[in-house]
Each structure stands twice: as C-alpha cells, then as structure tokens.
C-alpha cells in the first residue's frame, strides 16, 4: 500500500517566486502532496507521486490536475481512464469517484477549493470562514472587508 505525505498549510505567500522544479526535486516521499499557495478561494497543490491513491470523491469541489512531468492515470468511476502526460490536464467534477495512479515518479499541479477557508453548512454548500488576518512580512494580504 502506498503511504501518503499530505501537507495542507501553504508553503508560499503571495508575491513569492515558486520554483516548482526545485520544490519537486527535494521530495523524497513516494506520494507527497503539498499546498504551494492560495489563489482566491482555491489552493494550488504540488503532487510528487508514484503508486496508487485510494478511491475517493470530493463532495463540494472539483479537482484539477496538470502533469508537469511523468505520467498520471486517473481512474474515474463509470468512465474510461484519463491518461495524462506532460502538459496535459484533466478536471474531475465534485461528487465523482476517482483514483489517481502514477506508474512512475510523476509531478503534478492540482487546483481545488481551499478547505481551510471554507466550512460546510448542513446543506453541503461551502461557506466562507469569517475574515481573519493574513498579514505576512508586512504585506497586507487580507480579504476585502
């Protein structure tokens, strides 16, 4: 079974340069998923993957995959597999069961709703968490008040 290393805290702030290749090269885990940064109501995540992830779905958000290097197969319940190579992308809609598989070391960028900024109400809709300070290094990166 593949072991997963998943970090949801953003590694980079706004206005910081991100060297995706350098970050990916430093990864030693077999399945590493790191939030790089926040963009509006979403996060950009880096995946350095080899092996299989479990079948799952996201109840409240779509998930976008972009292959930087390697090969990614996304099994989707009731549909043909999506096989992606470098420069190719695929979006899995919310509520769709899927399973990513990386036959060899693969680097992907993923975009999804920032779950740290949203909570679910009983109707299963994402609602924003009340504004909080996001000041970092003297830059006001807060939300419009």
Instruction: Convert the pLDDT of each residue in 109-121 to its tens digit.
Output: 999 998 776 554 4
Structure tokens belonging to residue 136: 């970092």
pTM: 0.78
Instruction: Convert the pLDDT of each residue in 33-45 to its tens digit.
Output: 999 999 999 999 9
- Work out whether strand 31-39 and strand 5-7 pair parallel, antiparallel, or are unpaired: parallel
pLDDT score at 117? 65
Gap between the Cα atoms of 59 and 55, Å rounded = 13
- 32 by Cβ neighbours in 10 Å (0-12 / 13-18 / 19+) ranks as buried
pLDDT score at 103? 97
- 140 by Cβ neighbours in 10 Å (0-12 / 13-18 / 19+) ranks as exposed
Element (H, E) at 23: helix 20-25
Q: Which residues of the chain have pLDDT under 70?
A: 1, 117-145
The superfamily (CATH) of domain 5-128 is Jelly Rolls (2.60.120.10)
Say if residues 77 and 96 touch (Cβ distance below 8 Å): yes
Residues across the chain = 145
Gap between the Cα atoms of 90 and 67, Å rounded = 9
């Amino acid at each position: 079974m593949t072991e997963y290393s998943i970090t949801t805290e953003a590694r980079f702030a706004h206005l910081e340069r991100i060297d995706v290749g350098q970050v990916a090269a430093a990864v030693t885990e077999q399945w590493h998923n790191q939030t790089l940064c926040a963009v509006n109501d979403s996060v950009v995540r880096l995946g350095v993957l080899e092996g299989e992830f479990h079948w799952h779905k996201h109840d409240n958000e779509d998930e976008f995959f972009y292959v930087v290097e390697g090969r990614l197969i996304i099994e989707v319940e009731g549909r043909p597999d999506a096989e992606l190579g470098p420069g190719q992308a695929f979006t899995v809609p919310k509520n769709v069961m899927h399973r990513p598989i990386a036959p060899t070391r693969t680097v992907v960028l993923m975009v999804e709703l920032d779950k740290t900024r949203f909570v679910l109400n009983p109707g299963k809709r994402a609602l924003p968490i009340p504004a909080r300070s996001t000041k970092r290094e003297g830059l006001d990166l807060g939300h419009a008040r």
